[in-house]
Amino acid sequence: MTTKIVSINKRSSIYFNLFFSPLIFFICAFYFSIGFAKAPPESFADLSDQVSSSVVNIASTVTSENAPLNEFPQFPPGSPFEEFFKDFMDKGPARRPSQSLGSGFIISKEGLIVTNNHVIANASSITVVLHDGTSLQAKLIGADTKTDLAVLKVKTDLDLKAVSWGNSDKIKVGNWAMAIGNPFGLVNTVTVGIVSARARDINAGPFDDFIQTDASINRGNSGGPLFNLDGQVIGVNTAIYSPSGGSVGIGFAIPSALAKNVVGQLNKHGRTIRGWLGVRIQTVTEDLAESLGLDRAYGALVATTLPGSPAEKSGIKPGDIILEFDGKRVDKMRTLPKLVAETKVGKKVTIKIWRFQKLISKKVLLGRLESSGEFKAEKENKSDDIKTTKIENLKILVRNLNKDDISKRELPKNTTGVVVTEILQGSPLIFVSVNDVIVELQKKKVVNSNQFSKLVNETISKGAKTLYLAIYNSRNQRSYITVKLK
């Protein structure tokens, strides 16, 4: 009897192994996969409800001095309609306000709002529209052109709902991301995608470290938040890549790790306070690394040290390769400016450099970028771009086209020219408007204001009766026009 029971138990064990073991395996595998591969959300409705009231629309007004009230239709040179429209429509100089639309988000119940600098740059007034349609006048607390961030403040008795910063350093490519903003004036538009890439360098500035996303971002989304699934802000939507002008699924956001630090400084000081080393650097190529005895191409090669800079005082020399800054590895050249800028002014840091095939260390007391000669020289150069030049023969004022213009207007990167800032009464440029960009004169490339002025004078002195210009209009459409001189 005992033997029979044993044989039955063995047979049962065999049946159990054959039929139930695979079932248990699949059940365990299912629960294992749930724990490690998070299923996509069924809906983003709850997340949208949670954060939408913290997103605002921003309208900034910029007034152009002495801009013509009317744009003239284009006619062939010498057309009888040319004089008619000039007499009928030319009402003289006027002030024309223009409006820029963007987005932002509330970061404190006291009314602090984050947006892009380019949304509110040069604004004479800034209006913030809340989720419920309430309009409030905003005050600019501070702005930073290098990272394209700005902080505004509104006063209201309303109970404002703030969002919190997330940690962009922890996001992974493939994570869900949700953008909310004001594209083309369509308020509270929600779009969803994934994090497509990290640490993108798009040559927008010295601290490029963008999050790339395929969540739909268009004009008007600028300054709006990019959320993770926890409703935390992981980025500030800033730019798009778009040959057509609309979303093609390539958008860029300033990571929260950078934005949070800059916003904190702007709120506290009204400006940024960045560390300064005082070196001009270049990329370490494979050939350079091999010739200098490095095992691979990394770090930042010092091209020059600026006189009186912290780098020069500490003994850093041209030809040195900076491999580590304050305990952080410099994987590539553009990593160094970010590390320096994020370090507290006045801190004594250790820098590891490669010199004569040896690794040596230097102690450096960081200075402040904003008080350095390098920063002041940069600002002076920018002021040259803003400075206007009067072209007497054409009765217009122009300024140099700068990198910000090219970026914001999405012009070809190698574009040079002058921006028309004012058209005086009696100007022969009746088919040109304020903010048009003149890029050619008589098929010759326009480089800057001074060169353009000389080119105009030389052309007229040779007896030219008609000027042949290539321009980009306010819609960034390139065209050729003729100007008949009196």
> Residues with catalytic annotation?
118, 148, 222
- 3-class SS of residue 54: helix
DSSP bridge partners of 152: 113, 140
Residues 67, 96 contacting (CB under 8 angstroms): yes
Alpha helix locations (H) across 349-422? 373-386, 403-409
CA distance 91 to 93: 7
Residues 340, 366 contacting (CB under 8 angstroms): yes
Residues 310, 367 contacting (CB under 8 angstroms): yes
Write the single-letter amino acid at 11.
Answer: R
CA distance 289 to 286: 5
Q: How many CB atoms lie within 10 A of CB 155?
A: 10
Residues 259, 143 contacting (CB under 8 angstroms): no
Residues 261, 275 contacting (CB under 8 angstroms): no
419: Cβ contacts below 8 Å, ≥ 6 apart: 398, 399, 400, 401, 405, 435, 436, 437
Q: Which of 195, 58, 66, 55 is nearest to 119 (CA)?
A: 58
Going along 367-452, which residue ranges are E strands? 367-368, 388-391, 396-400, 418-423, 437-441, 444-445
Q: Terminus-to-terminus CA distance in the chain, angstroms?
A: 126
